[in-house]
Structure 1
Amino acid sequence: MAYSLSLKNRSAATLRDFRLCISGPCQIDLAATAEGGSVGKRLSTFTELLPPDGYALDPGATWTITIHGLSWAFQHWTDGARGAYLAFVDGSTVSVATSPTRRVGGNASPKRGVESYPVPETPPAPISVIPWPNAVSVANLKTAPAGLALAAEGDEAKAAAIAFTALTEALFSVEGIVRPAEEGGLPVYLRLKDGPAAEAYELAFSPASVTVAASGRTGFLYGLVTLGQIWRGAHHFPGAYGFPTEGTIADEPSMGWRGLHLDVARQFYGTAEIGKLLAVLAWNKLNRFHWHLSDDEAWRVEIDAYPALTEIGAWRGHGLAIPPLLGSPPERSGGYYSKAAIREIVAHAKTLGIEIVPEIDVPGHSHALQQAIPDLRDPAEKGSYHSVQGFPDNCLNPAREKTYEVLETIFRELIELFPFRTIHVGADEVPLGAWSGSPEALAKLRAIGGEAMAEAHAHRLNVSSHSPLAEAIDGSSAAVLQALFLERLQKFLASQGCVMGGWEEAAHGNVIDRQRTYLCGWRDMKISAALAGEGYRMVVCPGQAYYLDMAASPDWDEPGASWAGASTPEATYAFDPVAGWSAAQRERLLGVQACIWSEPMQDRAVFDRLVFPRLSAVAETGWTRPERKSWDRFRASAGLMPVLYGYP
């Protein structure tokens, strides 16, 4: 595939001695060639393109460079350069406007913003609720009351009422869902009931009031969320939905783990965005937020012992340790979460029934960490290996004692911030050639498996790969080294009273304690089923259905990634996360999780389009029993669910 970029000089001055710097999601291969110029420095999604020696771009003229050799074929309009600037020999830069990538042979208008899901005149269900409850028996539907006047008994009910009021104000500030009786609010009584599970609730409707019964705070909150959804459907679409005055709803989730993963390393999201996203999760009755705080592209959490992590690792820009990536501007950009901000976010999530799982992705995906703490590398390491995302030598060395000194210090500070005491350590996408040029690592291999193992690994030096999926290292010498790393890290976390999470590659070597860990199955459902059969506790989040950065269709005009294919909202909704699993395998299922990887998310309108309503589709799979699911009923209510940014 050829990729052509044209630069037009709209200024009044002739441009000389410049480099055109672009950044992804596109990756220009290390072996790429070019017509009309040459390829200069490259790091993952950042590439310098050079015009011919002595070239001058006169006012009104256009320079075109055509690249042969992409790391993967473009499939969507967001795949090409999303950020660009000119860099001059004096160190100055000038930002360059970019436009959506166009393909030869015709282009429809690029799609952005949430796709409309109109409420039909006669929906399949008389009330609007997502996820759909277990047992619904309601009658005598009327128009919605002016609002809901909450009357809570006891501390747990009062806390839930306060949380629900704040939730509705955050998501639907002007609707007045919660309002006092003197403003026409219908009395809603929150009453404690022994017996129901923590997230279960019951609603009882009468003409004069509604009663919410639950055993604790989260059950009360979820009951109120259901009631709020019913109210919104009847309030906004009185011809389609009604508000019950008779009957009951009894409900509880079918899965305990109903999560969302958010990558904040590749694109940064401020605390206001995180706060509203947590509100959206609560409205979908999702109870886990997997916070991906580090990756090759950035480090996002304050660590007192190592201030360089945020001083260096949290920022990208021209001339910095980490260049502009994934559409970043030449100016310094990025950010991180202070400890004070994290404590507030964790406390806020707790009021919404959400536990937060932080992820520090190691031993791979550690480029930003290594830029901040360079002595983590073996000083005698030579040559190079590259990750699938194009980062050189990005894995922490399992043979160095310094690695564990630094990580144990970091994790001690992290554990203090996250009381759920579940820490995700990544363990994904370690390249086959990792540490192949490190004398320390080779010596460790030699001690474990002998000279042949060490020599075989040394021969993987300077081998790069850009496979559409991560390299499978299971059974390799790289997996042996990673297993040493993970076994030690897991034992440390267990000593701190923590459960360790990892992506499915954490199972390589079978060294981690299955009772003190869980795995996220992301590549292949057969792999997830097999790992469950081996006794691993699994959270299912396959790229083919639950990676919300994947495009919603294979059409060029849709945004998003494509390595795992495309998944329409209906396909995501219909996906069965445990199809073909045995009863024993199902016993090891913790639940499901949607994953947002942020490569295409610099454009927040793209975020909205990719995430909604597929997030709600995953939420319903995690909550609702399979026999009670209905795409037609879900689709009729999907447009009433909140979105993060609200781009049309």
Structure 2
Amino acid sequence: MKQLLKLTGCLALAGLFASCQSAQQEANYQIIPMPQEMVTAQGTPFILKSGVKILYPEGNEKMQRNAQFLADYLKTATGKDFAIEAGTEGKNAIVLTLDAANENPESYQLKVAGDGITIAGPTEAGVFYGIQSLRKSLPVAVGADISMPAVEINDAPRFGYRGAHFDTSRHFFTVDEVKTYIDMMALHNMNRFHWHITEDQGWRLEIKKYPKLTEIGSKRTETVIGRNSGEYDGKPYGGFYTQEQAKEIVAYAAERYITVIPEIDLPGHMQAALAAYPELGCTGGPYEVWRQWGVSEDVLCAGNDQVLKFLEDVFTELIEIFPSEYIHVGGDECPKVRWEKCPKCQARIKALGLKSDDKHSKEERLQSFVINHIEKFLNDHGRQIIGWDEILEGGLAPNATVMSWRGEKGGIEAAKQKHDVIMTPNTYLYFDYYQTKDVDNEPLAIGGYLPLERVYSYEPMPVSLTPEEQTYIKGVQANLWTEYIPTFPHVQYMVLPRWAALCEVQWSSPEKKNYADFLSRLPQLIRWYDAEGYNYAKHAFDVQAEFDPNPAEGTMDVTLSTIDNAPVHYTLDGTEPTAASPVCEGVLKIKENATLSAKAIRPTGESKVLTEKIDFCKSTMKPIVANQPINEQYLFKGASTLNDGLRGNSSYRSGRWIAFNGNDMDLTIDLQQPTEISSVAISVNVAKGDWVFDARNLSVEVSDDGKTFKKIASEEYPAMKETDKDGIVDHQLTFAPVTTQYVRVVASPEKTLPEWHGGKGKNAFLFVDEIKID
């Protein structure tokens, strides 16, 4: 975390983006998100300076508030105060007005002419988005007048639901921090705040009928250190929002045209509630507010009528606090092991006549009963439900909207069933994932790898859907789970600037999207992050490296680049580059052991140093083929990942590891000429909670012709125990020297996860990196 907050060695972006305080500066309409239509107009520019007034329709409180927001933004940009007055006409003014020319309620028109600026929209929300575009067009230049070239922007969002999720249950955040999160959303044209407020690790909302939910359920005795290490910090942890505070946040968001959608996750993720009211569980407890991360097997008892009454009471109070049409009911990650043995649950299954079939178990159908019950209750009170895509299991509630998080499959299935869908796939939009492969220099995250470019590349409209089915895709949302995000600066670091990429996915037309163009516009938005004091990740401004194995030449081909084409200086001996080091131009071809270090050197500062060690052995950069399938989800760059000289780190999703599931790792390497060898080694990444296990065996075969192979070494490894540590495991086979051209390396994964594991009976994943032959 110290690295995160100090940003040691990072580029001094404040210097890079500092605006010169000259008498006049020019606005730039290259904003994020990219507007649908922008036409540069003829005429003199408008000069934004002291004396310019902001006008709004008399008697319209929302427009008056819009005018005040604009005045505040202009004060941040220029340091000057701008008067606000009621009125609809005036020279040398910024006029905010309602105009129903566009049917989309969030559309706007921004016109800049020599005598003034007009921002018009069919609703106050549309005008607000026009204000955001004006704001983001401005340089942050305190003390300067700003010249605004004549322009006409006509804009409207692609999706009506543009969401950002915030988990304040695993870690608690203050009311002011939640408000800042909402301000950040407004800057990115978002309009739905998905607020996750209950969990196994903490119940965060006051419910007056059940005071123990916060008296007991909001506090855990301590918190696990790292990723369920078994070690704990010994520090009590807690916090909750009163109903008045929640209403304050709802009102704050509404002023910024953001709807708060609360989530009470059920019937799973309820251990904090069970700690408060153990009679709601299948076993009766005792329970504790969970001190670790993951998915608890203790869930609400679906056979207990008291549970249904409890949920109705909770949602009765919830809908008094949150006016949102939609209420999120979770429905994800609910283990059924307690229900399978619970007499009450089994009696309910029998009474309802629920049966297992080839699609759903009777316990999955019991979960649908609970979800349906709450949906009917909320429908009767004028509300609709949203649930995670697990609510498809056991049959979908009649009017439910599905939030597709386990990839897009659930969303596609729901749209085909004519249910509304919000796309939020973890493969593109889980911002608790790492932003860089250099995880050793990042604060701890849950895993994964989700760089800015991948977020930007997301297209939410599945091509497998018909045009009619695509109409059910209502929006896009990114999620932020906070198991490993304990502070608000860390929250900001994880979402910014990935929200910039997200908001262009949510708002802009897909045919207008272009990543290189997006990057050229990003620095202008970053100036506003600096102006507002937001902490943000700076990876986009560091040196980017592409590593391409070249077996034909036996080289690792490296391309180095920066967002702004700044010169990249490098060394190959591990020393830190200086301005005297060579500049990378074209492709670097590396064919022997090297430690590549690269740094962008700009007049205003230096970037973080990129360092990568490339180790050559007898198999490095040689032709390699997979004889059995590589798992498609973790294929990355394919078999060549295993002999490219780049060693994977602790994150198995970084792209440096490839996976095998349901079959052996079975590869043949062509050494291209008879070569003497005496050892073969592989590295395996182990993350038991994610079904990623060690190998059960390793064998080596050799051949002179690539057809007939002879086994020369093999070794068996024991099945993993629950107490075995996660991490990287190295395996090496040594043998009497042999001369050969073709080497076949086979490793078997754990075919069946053991009884002690939550995924018992399923195939384990085997993640492998470098095959080293010496």
Corresponding position: 1:481 with 2:383:
no
Determine which of 490, 494, 501 is the counterpart of 2:375: 490
Q: Tell which has more relative contact order, 1 or 2 (C-alpha 8 A, sep 6+).
A: 1
Q: Greater CA deviation, 133-142 or 611-620? A: 133-142
Corresponding position: 1:131 with 2:38:
no
Cα distance in structure 1, aligned partners of 2:328 and 2:432? 20
1:152 deviates by 0.8
Cα distance in structure 2, aligned partners of 1:177 and 1:547? 39
Match of 1:425 in 2: 329
Cα distance in structure 2, aligned partners of 1:371 and 1:198? 45
- For residue 269 of structure 1, give the secondary structure of its aligned residue in structure 2: coil
Q: Contact conserved, 2:94 with 2:116, CA < 8 A, in 1?
A: yes
Cα distance in structure 2, aligned partners of 1:208 and 1:325? 59
- For residue 181 of structure 2, give the secondary structure of its aligned residue in structure 1: helix
Deviations 1:496-542 (A, max 9, x none): 110111001112222411xx321110011233222211212100001
1:144 deviates by 6.2
Q: Contact conserved, 1:114 with 1:647, CA < 8 A, in 2?
A: no
Deviations 1:565-592 (A, max 9, x none): 3111111012111242331221101100
- For residue 127 of structure 1, give the secondary structure of its aligned residue in structure 2: coil
Cα distance in structure 1, aligned partners of 2:8 and 2:164? 24
1:430 deviates by 1.1
1:116–1:560 Cα change, 3 Å = farther
1:448 deviates by 4.4
Cα distance in structure 1, aligned partners of 2:74 and 2:46? 22
Matches within 5 A, 1:192-271: 192-196=98-102, 197-232=104-139, 235=141, 243-271=147-175
Which one-letter code corresponds to 1:488 in the other structure?
Answer: H
Match of 2:304 in 1: 400
Q: Contact conserved, 2:281 with 2:298, CA < 8 A, in 1?
A: no
Q: Contact conserved, 1:138 with 1:244, CA < 8 A, in 2?
A: no
1:415 deviates by 0.2
Cα distance in structure 1, aligned partners of 2:500 and 2:8? 20
Q: Contact conserved, 1:300 with 1:337, CA < 8 A, in 2?
A: yes
1:129 deviates by 1.6
Q: Contact conserved, 1:164 with 1:225, CA < 8 A, in 2?
A: no
- For residue 189 of structure 1, give the secondary structure of its aligned residue in structure 2: strand
- For residue 211 of structure 1, give the secondary structure of its aligned residue in structure 2: strand
Corresponding position: 1:292 with 2:193:
no
Determine which of 405, 423, 437 is the counterpart of 2:341: 437
- For residue 361 of structure 1, give the secondary structure of its aligned residue in structure 2: strand
Which one-letter code corresponds to 2:49 in the other structure?
Answer: A
- For residue 461 of structure 2, give the secondary structure of its aligned residue in structure 1: coil
1:191–1:604 Cα change, 3 Å = closer
1:271 deviates by 0.5
Deviations 1:458-514 (A, max 9, x none): xxxxxxxxxxxxxxx96123312101111111111101110111001112222411x
Deviations 1:180-200 (A, max 9, x none): 399xx9510112212323211
Cα distance in structure 2, aligned partners of 1:483 and 1:339? 29
1:172 deviates by 7.2
1:208–1:605 Cα change, 3 Å = same
Corresponding position: 1:334 with 2:238:
yes
Cα distance in structure 1, aligned partners of 2:309 and 2:339? 19
Matches within 5 A, 1:246-395: 246-318=150-222, 330-379=234-283, 389-390=293-294, 392-395=296-299
Match of 1:90 in 2: none
Determine which of 394, 397, 407 is the counterpart of 1:509: 394
Q: Contact conserved, 1:114 with 1:612, CA < 8 A, in 2?
A: no
Q: Contact conserved, 2:165 with 2:196, CA < 8 A, in 1?
A: yes
- For residue 640 of structure 1, give the secondary structure of its aligned residue in structure 2: helix
Match of 2:82 in 1: 179
1:418–1:221 Cα change, 3 Å = same
Q: Contact conserved, 2:173 with 2:488, CA < 8 A, in 1?
A: no
Matches within 5 A, 1:529-540: 529-540=412-423
Q: Contact conserved, 2:53 with 2:83, CA < 8 A, in 1?
A: yes
Match of 1:606 in 2: 490
Which one-letter code corresponds to 2:100 in the other structure?
Answer: D
When the two chains are superposed, the root-mean-square deviation of aligned CA atoms in Å is 3.8
Corresponding position: 1:640 with 2:527:
yes
Matches within 5 A, 1:548-559: 548-556=431-439, 557-559=441-443
Cα distance in structure 1, aligned partners of 2:504 and 2:244? 33
Corresponding position: 1:520 with 2:423:
no
1:637 deviates by 3.2
Which one-letter code corresponds to 1:194 in the other structure?
Answer: A
1:222 deviates by 1.1
Corresponding position: 1:162 with 2:65:
yes
1:390–1:627 Cα change, 3 Å = closer
1:266–1:151 Cα change, 3 Å = same
Which one-letter code corresponds to 1:431 in the other structure?
Answer: P
Cα distance in structure 2, aligned partners of 1:329 and 1:177? 48
- For residue 476 of structure 2, give the secondary structure of its aligned residue in structure 1: strand
Q: Contact conserved, 2:63 with 2:96, CA < 8 A, in 1?
A: no
Match of 1:626 in 2: 510
* Alignment gaps of 5+ in structure 1: 1-77, 79-98, 102-108, 457-472
* Alignment gaps of 5+ in structure 2: 20-26, 86-90, 537-774
Cα distance in structure 2, aligned partners of 1:432 and 1:271? 35
Q: Contact conserved, 1:387 with 1:393, CA < 8 A, in 2?
A: no
Match of 1:20 in 2: none
1:392 deviates by 4.2
- TM-score, normalised with respect to structure 1: 0.71
Corresponding position: 1:577 with 2:465:
no
Cα distance in structure 2, aligned partners of 1:145 and 1:570? 35
Cα distance in structure 2, aligned partners of 1:620 and 1:258? 10
- For residue 191 of structure 1, give the secondary structure of its aligned residue in structure 2: strand
1:110 deviates by 8.6
Q: Greater CA deviation, 496-505 or 620-629? A: 620-629
Q: What percent of counterpart residues are identical?
A: 27
Q: Contact conserved, 1:388 with 1:431, CA < 8 A, in 2?
A: no
1:200–1:404 Cα change, 3 Å = same
Cα distance in structure 2, aligned partners of 1:100 and 1:151? 46
Cα distance in structure 1, aligned partners of 2:333 and 2:177? 28
- For residue 261 of structure 1, give the secondary structure of its aligned residue in structure 2: strand
Cα distance in structure 2, aligned partners of 1:591 and 1:357? 14
Which one-letter code corresponds to 2:157 in the other structure?
Answer: P
- TM-score, normalised with respect to structure 2: 0.60
1:599 deviates by 1.3
Which one-letter code corresponds to 2:216 in the other structure?
Answer: I
- For residue 502 of structure 1, give the secondary structure of its aligned residue in structure 2: strand
- For residue 149 of structure 2, give the secondary structure of its aligned residue in structure 1: strand
Cα distance in structure 2, aligned partners of 1:275 and 1:500? 25
Determine which of 541, 553, 556 is the counterpart of 2:424: 541
Deviations 1:72-103 (A, max 9, x none): xxxxxx8xxxxxxxxxxxxxxxxxxxx999xx
1:632 deviates by 2.7
Q: Contact conserved, 1:296 with 1:394, CA < 8 A, in 2?
A: no
Cα distance in structure 2, aligned partners of 1:490 and 1:542? 24
Cα distance in structure 2, aligned partners of 1:151 and 1:583? 43
Q: Contact conserved, 1:126 with 1:242, CA < 8 A, in 2?
A: no
Cα distance in structure 2, aligned partners of 1:328 and 1:406? 32
Match of 1:66 in 2: none
Q: Contact conserved, 2:368 with 2:394, CA < 8 A, in 1?
A: yes
Cα distance in structure 1, aligned partners of 2:143 and 2:466? 43
- For residue 428 of structure 1, give the secondary structure of its aligned residue in structure 2: coil
